[in-house]
Amino acid sequence: MKKTDYLLLKELTKVFGEGKSAFTAVDHVSLTVQEGDLVTLLGPSGCGKTTTLRMIAGFNTPTSGEVLIDDVRMNDIPPNKRPTAMVFQNYALFPHMTVFENIAYGLEIEKLPKEEIRRKVDALMHQISLDGLGNRQPRQLSGGQQQRVSLARAMILEPKVLLFDEPLSNLDAKLRMSTRLEIRKLQQRVGITSVYVTHDQEEAMTLSDKVVIMDRGTIQQIGTPSEIYSHPKNRFVADFIGKANLLEAKVVDMTNDAFSVEFSGKRITAPRWNKEIKVGDDVTVVVRPEAVIIQPKGNNDLLDGVITNAVYFGSQMLYEIQIPNKQILQIEVADPQYQPQFPQGSKVSIAFKNRSLHVLPWEQGGNV
Amino acid sequence: MNNKHSERMGDFKKMVGEPFLLVSIIVVFYLLIVFVIFPIYKVVKTSFVYDGHVSFRNYAEVLSHDYYIRPLWNSMILGLLVATIGTVIGFVFAYAITRTPMKGKTVFRLVATFPMVSPPFVVALACILLFGRAGIFKGAIGNIYGLTGLTIVEVIAYSPTAFLSLFGILQSIDPALEEAAMVCGASRGKVFRSIILPLATPGVVSAWLLVFIQSLADFGNPMILSGNFSVLSVQAYLQITGMNDLARGSTLAILLLIPTLLAFYTQKYLVSKKSFVTVTGKPTASTIKNLEWYVKLPVYVVCVFFAGVVVLFYGMVVWGSFQRLWGIDKTFTLQNYVQMWAVGKDYIRDSLIIAAIVTPICGLLSMFIAYLVTRKRFFGRGLMEFSAMLTFAVPGTVVGIGYILAFNTSSALMPVTLTGTATIIIALLIFRNLPVGIRNGIAALQQIDPSIEEASIDCGANSGTTFWRITLPMITPALFSGLANSFVRSMTAISAVIFVVSGGWNLITVAILGFVDNSQYAQAAAMSILLIAIVLIALFLMQLATDRVGKGMKVGLMEGEQS
């Protein structure tokens, strides 16, 4: 099946308040979501992700811009007439109804025959392992079960777009992980187009076909999880996704596919993704914690460093290394028991796994 | 079994090891027995004594005379009407403020709750000024002395109770539930019928019962407006003060007490039953912005109309207080205030002195009882809470009669005669105003992690020091709202205190009622305005104090809330 653009946000903007107290929560956000994809809106709190989601659902009216679902303009359609359904952060289960009544609620509004409702609800409850819980009250369920009821109540309507508003944030860490996988499997099996809001990058990385990074109401980058991790577009994305050591450097030479940058008097080679950066430009080099090889001090072409902290984590070793410009690099070494270990105070040389480095244009006052 | 026993013994020994705690529990119990249980017991006992023997004769006689049965029915009918209309208005107001984008919500809230800070019977006075024989809308609603007038007046006086209770309920219904229903395709009407209404039902019933109780217990309004439509509270008063028939008065009081207690405990049961209402994490108000006009219009009309009526009634009292002769001579004058002051300055002084004594004692005692019942384990804890909260449910008339019966003579419990002293008024007001403070205190304490107090005891402090140094500062907001409530109610109370006032000590409310009785409406209005002004100033000062103290408190409370 060829994927088509299914959900379209065109220059979507939301301004709260008026005059001096006006606050732009969402600023010209444009996005296309293809049929069957799960797209995450990821960003720190206050970045506009939830407001964007609520504009898709119809709870917030856009100040300007358009929401289109399957080529139909949604702006003037009230939430109860939109082909969307939503899974809420606190589940928002109707406390005075049983699990069955909760899930059946939307079908009853559609005035489906009783037997058909019963059949559909039972089938869905079976599919998401809620068998036998139909007569329970929501408060008698565990957090994970409540979350699944909330999901079922939304899915039973077979909406064109399913919306998730941080649905896992109230679960404990372990349950969050398993539920995350379950949601992903279910979403792929049913092939339902989904928009998922979260501030948890791990959640976004593991769930999504595409991740949309937002900050202060604007989209910073759209891409697959691996694109976003390995080729962040700017400092914000580099810093927000995963851990990153940022080195301020200058481009001294470049070939067709590599930069040579100077940092603290040493030369570092990095892949050339950004074609706009020229020789002589100031740049920021993104060094992921796993992109470093620590060696005993010796090689004069390499950056010197002193281990200031070494913490053993079992599956990995975390080092903090002070480099000549006083910056502290955070480095992770996998499988530490099979690697040479460096105690605190060791003088070392730092080599980079050059293919894992990423060069960004320098940003004025880039906040780290 | 054995373990349970030794556990209790352990608790007891711990308490003996803390003399302060033991003594204060005994003192509190003594006070509650003397000033709460004993008077009510006396009313019950008197109603069952005929010619010196225990019998049902009083009840048999009362229930066989139309003269006595009529007030019973009248009270019920009035209560039903007032509770129903009052709850509807309260609900509409609560809905408007929590669920619509209405402009000027603060003003509407203020107006809607204003009748709570005035003596309820001021509304009756306004009703006479508006619709009475010399009123500006004379005859517009027929004869005001009777069911119609009383219903209107009590609805104005008691809808605020329904509003406040329903406001809390509607506010705690998570808006996400409505949104969830809407994304499931529910229309606005369907959301209301299938989500809001079922969730609010226990609250609606409970608000209805509260207003019903208030209407039954109301004394001032029917005293002024009942005319030939006699009600229980007034009838019981007249039996005692007019006919000096204590037995019949007590019997009528018990007939008033029974439905009130039934309503009260039904209400308590409804509230205690695990309610569905969910506390929301992040209130979102955006759905209300897009409310349809056909929802907004009727809601706004009711709000504007009711608020208009409240303003009209109280405005009338203000206006009336400045006129030379109501309905005849509209010349502006201050003479009513001069006359009122000449007659009433002693009443005002007495009221202020008594309120100044009652307020701090009541505030601290209510917080201390709240502390004891939530934080300490001792034999009779449930009984302490029950008796301390009892006066909340018992109509003032019953309490007043009880105080007459209990304290006219000395007894083993109270070796001196209290009647005629300021002490009896003070005691009555303290124990009548305790429940609200205790309820606030308990609610505040439940928000605070007990481990904070355990830490204090761990550091070597005893229960008394812990209460004074740790608990009380943390529940300061509850203390202040308890103080405010106690002051307002001390200044505006009438139903119970009217039985215990005397030549020596008298109160403003009684004086106002006296003016009304003499048809000196202008002076009554002037005195009511003065009383309301005093109450408002006191509330304002207390709000200032709360804000000042509250700032230092914030951190502690917020940490407490998270636990």
The minimum CA-CA distance between B186 and chain A, rounded to whole Å, is 6
Q: Is residue B57 part of a domain?
A: no
Taking each helix axis as running N to C, give the angle between helix B246-272 and helix B66-99, from 0 to 180 degrees, rounded to the nearest 10. Answer: 30
Which sign, positive or negative, has the C-alpha torsion A329, A334, A338, A343?
positive
**Cα Dmax for chain B:** 82
**Residue B461's pLDDT is what?**
81
What pLDDT sits at residue B4?
A: 66
Q: Rounded to an integer, what distance in angstroms lies between the CA atom of residue B398 and that of residue B385?
A: 20
Contact call for B194 and A105, based on CB within 8 A? yes
DSSP of B298-337, one letter per residue?
HHHHHHHHHHHHHHHHHHHHHHHHTEEETTTEEEE-SHHH
Question: Alpha carbon of B25 to those of B5, B387, B396, B440: distances in Å?
Answer: 21, 13, 27, 20
Which chain B residues contact residue A82 at CB under 8 A?
183
Residue to substitute from B169, B183, B276, B292, interface A, most A β-carbons within 10 A: B183
For residue B256, what are the CA distances in angstroms to B44, B79, B223, B398? 12, 12, 16, 8
Instruction: Note whether B505 and B466 are same-domain residues.
Output: yes
**Confidence (pLDDT) at B478:** 85
Number of domains in chain B: 2
pLDDT at residue B67 in the model: 86
When CB atoms are compared, the residue of A86, A90, A96 closest to B281 is: A90
The reply to whether residue A94 touches residue B195, judged by beta carbons under 8 angstroms, is yes
C-alpha span between A222 and B129 (Å, rounded): 72
> What per-residue string of b and e applies to A106-116 under the rule 16 or more CB within 10 Å gives b?
bbbbeeeeeee
Evaluate whether A161 touches A194 at the Cβ level (below 8 Å).
Answer: yes
Is B17 domain-assigned?
yes
pLDDT at position B557, please? 30
Hey, which residues does A351 pair with through a beta bridge? A293
C-alpha B523: how far from its chain's center? 26
* Whether B23 and B115 share a structural domain: no
Q: Name the residue among B190, B282, B290 with its Cβ closest to that of A109.
A: B190
Is B204 within a domain? Answer: yes
Specify whether the CB–CB gap between B182 and A79 falls below 8 A: yes
B14 and B88 in a single domain? The answer is no
Are B121 and B161 in the same domain? Answer: yes
Residue A47 is given by DSSP the state S
Cβ distance B183 to A92 less than 8 Å, yes or no, reads no
Structure-token pair, residue A198: 């979260």
What residues of chain B, 177 to 236, have a C-beta less than 8 Å from chain A?
A: 177, 179-187, 190, 194-195, 198-199
Tens digit of pLDDT for each residue in A239-259? 888 888 998 999 999 988 889
CA B273/CA B266 separation, integer angstroms? 11
Residue B52: inside a domain: no
Q: What confidence score (pLDDT) does residue B287 get?
A: 54
Closest by Cβ to B276, choosing from A60, A92, A96: A96
Taking CA atoms, what residue in B is nearest to A80? B185
| B481: Cβ contacts below 8 Å, ≥ 6 apart | B440, B546
pTM, whole model, 2 decimals? 0.81
DSSP sequence for B12-69: HHHHHT-HHHHHHHHHHHHHHIIIIIHHHHHHHHHHTEETTEE-SHHHHHHHH-HHHH
Choose among A94, A157, A163: nearest Cβ to B185.
A157
Kindly give the interhelix angle for B476-492 and B521-562, rounded to the nearest 10 degrees.
Answer: 170
Q: Give CA–CA dist B432/B409, Å, rounded.
A: 21
- Return d(Cα A215, Cα A274) in angstroms, integer: 22
CA distances (Å), origin B505, targets A193, B347, B487: 78, 8, 18
Chain B touched by A161 (CB under 8 Å): no
CB atoms B187 and A80 under 8 Å: yes
- Which chain B residues are within 8 Å of A105, Cβ to Cβ? 181, 184, 186, 194
**pLDDT for A71-94, tens place per residue?**
999 998 888 889 999 998 888 888
- Check if the interface score ipTM surpasses 0.85: no
Size of interface A-B (CB pairs under 8 A): 81
Note whether A106 contacts B290, CB cutoff 8 Å: no
Torsion-angle region of A92 (φ positive above 0: left; ψ -120 to 50: alpha; else: beta): left
Q: What is the pLDDT of residue B544?
A: 83
In this predicted structure, the answer to whether residue A32 has a pLDDT above a threshold of 90 is yes
Query: First and final CA of chain A: distance in angstroms?
Result: 43
* The residue count for chain B: 563
Instruction: Kindly state whether B273 is in contact with chain A, defined as any CB-CB distance less than 8 angstroms.
Output: no
Model pLDDT, residue A100:
95
Chain A residues within 8 A of B286 when measuring between CB atoms: 54, 59-60
Instruction: Let me know if residue B327 belongs to a domain.
Output: no
Rounded to the nearest 5 percent, the helix, strand and coil shares of chain B are: 75, 0, 20
Mean pLDDT of chain A: 89
**B127-134 own/partner pairs: CB under 8 Å, 24+ apart:** B127/B152, B127/B153, B127/B225, B127/B313, B128/B224, B128/B225, B128/B516, B128/B521, B129/B316, B129/B317, B129/B319, B129/B320, B129/B326, B129/B521, B129/B525, B130/B312, B130/B313, B130/B316, B133/B327, B134/B326, B134/B327, B134/B328, B134/B521
Note whether B15 and B78 are same-domain residues: no
Nearest to B182 among A80, A95, A150 (CB): A80
| Inside any domain, residue B55 | no
The residue from B321, B354, B377 where one domain ends is B321
Q: Is the pLDDT of residue A174 over 90?
A: no
Burial of A311 (0-12, 13-18, 19+ CB in 10 A): exposed
* B327-365 residue pLDDT tens: 777 788 888 898 888 888 889 999 999 999 999 999 999
Put simply, the chain B residues between 146 and 175 with a CB less than 8 A from any chain A CB are 174
Contact B425, B501 (CB under 8 A): yes
Contact between residue A307 and residue A346 where contact means Cβ atoms under 8 Å apart = yes
Backbone dihedral angles phi then psi of residue A179, each to the nearest 5 degrees = -65, -35
Same domain, B292 and B361: no
Which residues of A fall within a CB distance of 8 Å from B287? 59, 79
pLDDT by residue (tens digit) across A194-229?
999 999 988 999 999 999 999 999 999 999 999 999
Angle, vertex CA A237, rays to CA A235 and CA A238, nearest 5? 60
Same domain, B37 and B76: no
Looking at the structure, tell me whether residues B40 and B82 fall in a common domain.
no
Of residues A5 and A10, more confidence is placed in A10
Q: Chain B closest CA to A267's CA: distance in Å?
A: 51
Residues B256 and B149 in one domain: yes
**C-alpha–C-alpha distance, residues B492 and B349, integer Å:** 14
Q: Which two tokens stand for residue B379?
A: 């034999």
Within 8 A by CB and 6+ apart from B106, the residues are none
Buried b (16+ CB within 10 A) or exposed e, B300-322: bebbeebbebbeebbebbebbbb
- Residues in chain A closer than 8 A to B182 (CB atoms): 59, 78-80
CA angle centred on A156, ends A154 and A160, rounded to 5°: 70
Residues B425, B543: one domain? yes
Contact state of A84 with B183 under an 8 Å Cβ cutoff: yes
The structure tokens listed for B57 are 């004769």
Distance from CA of B560 to the nearest CA of A (A): 21
In a domain, residue B515? The reply is yes
Q: Is the dihedral of CA B505, B508, B511, B513 positive or negative?
A: negative
pLDDT of residue A38: 95
Write down the pLDDT at residue B491. 92
Contacts of residue B219, defined as CB under 8 A and 6 or more positions apart, other chains included, come to: B233, B234, B237, B395, B396, B397, B494, B495, B498
Spatial neighbors of A255 by CB under 8 A, at least 6 apart, are: A272
- Domain assignment of residue B131, given as a range: 65-321
Which of A88, A109, A110 comes nearest B180 by C-beta? A88
CA neighbours closer than 13 Å in the CB half-sphere of residue B465 = 11
Burial tier of A342 (Cβ tally within 10 Å: 0-12, 13-18, 19+): buried
From B254, B286, B321, give the residue that closes a domain.
Answer: B321
End-to-end, the C-alpha distance of chain B in Å comes to 33
Distance from the B111 Cα atom to the nearest Cα atom in chain A, whole angstroms: 27
- Biggest distance spanned by C-alpha atoms of chain A: 80
Residue B419 has a pLDDT of: 80
Categorize the per-residue pLDDT at A367 as very low, low, confident or very high, splitting at 50, 70 and 90.
Answer: very low
Is A92 in CB contact (< 8 Å) with chain B?
yes
CA distance A50 to A41: 8
- Of B267, B302, B321, the one marking the end of a domain is B321
Mutate to test the interface with B, among A94, A102, A120, A149 (most CBs of B within 10 A): A94
Question: What's the confidence (pLDDT) of residue B276?
Answer: 53
Describe the crossing of helices B197-217 and B246-272 by its angle, rounded to 10 degrees: 170
Tell me which residues of chain A, numbers 98 to 127, contact chain B at a CB-CB cutoff of 8 Å: 105-106, 109-110
Considering only CB atoms, which chain A residues are within 8 Å of B169?
Answer: none
Give me the amino acid identity at A328.
I
Q: What is the DSSP string of B204-215?
A: HHHHHHHHHHHH
DSSP, res B520: -
User: B35 and B70: one domain?
Assistant: no
> Is residue A366 a contact partner of residue A284, using CB atoms and an 8 Å limit?
yes
Residues of chain B with pLDDT under 50: 1, 278-284, 286, 552-563
Beta bridge partners of A221: A213
pLDDT at B282: 43
Put simply, the answer to whether A96 touches B184 (Cβ < 8 Å) is no
Contact A106 B185 (CB under 8 A): yes
Q: Provide the pLDDT for residue A49.
A: 93
Q: Quote the pLDDT of residue B226.
A: 84
| Pair of tokens at residue B116 | 């709570």
Distance from CA of A94 to the nearest CA of B (A): 6
Q: Do residues B150 and B78 touch, judged by C-beta distance below 8 A? A: yes
Same domain? For B383 and B413 the reply is yes
Distance CA B44, CA B39 (A): 9
Determine contact, residues B153/B127, Cβ cutoff 8 Å.
yes
Q: Is B54 among the domain residues?
A: no
Q: Does A23 touch chain B (CB under 8 A)?
A: no
Which stretches of chain A are assigned E, i.e. beta strand?
Answer: 5-16, 23-34, 38-42, 64-69, 72-73, 84-87, 161-165, 193-198, 210-215, 218-223, 245-254, 258-263, 266-271, 282-287, 292-296, 303-312, 316-322, 328-334, 347-352, 358-361
Residues B535, B491 contacting (CB under 8 angstroms): yes
User: A57 touching B, CB under 8 A?
Assistant: yes
Contact B280 A90 (CB under 8 A): yes
Domain CATH code at residue B465: 1.10.3720.10
pLDDT in tens, B23-46: 999 999 999 999 999 999 999 999
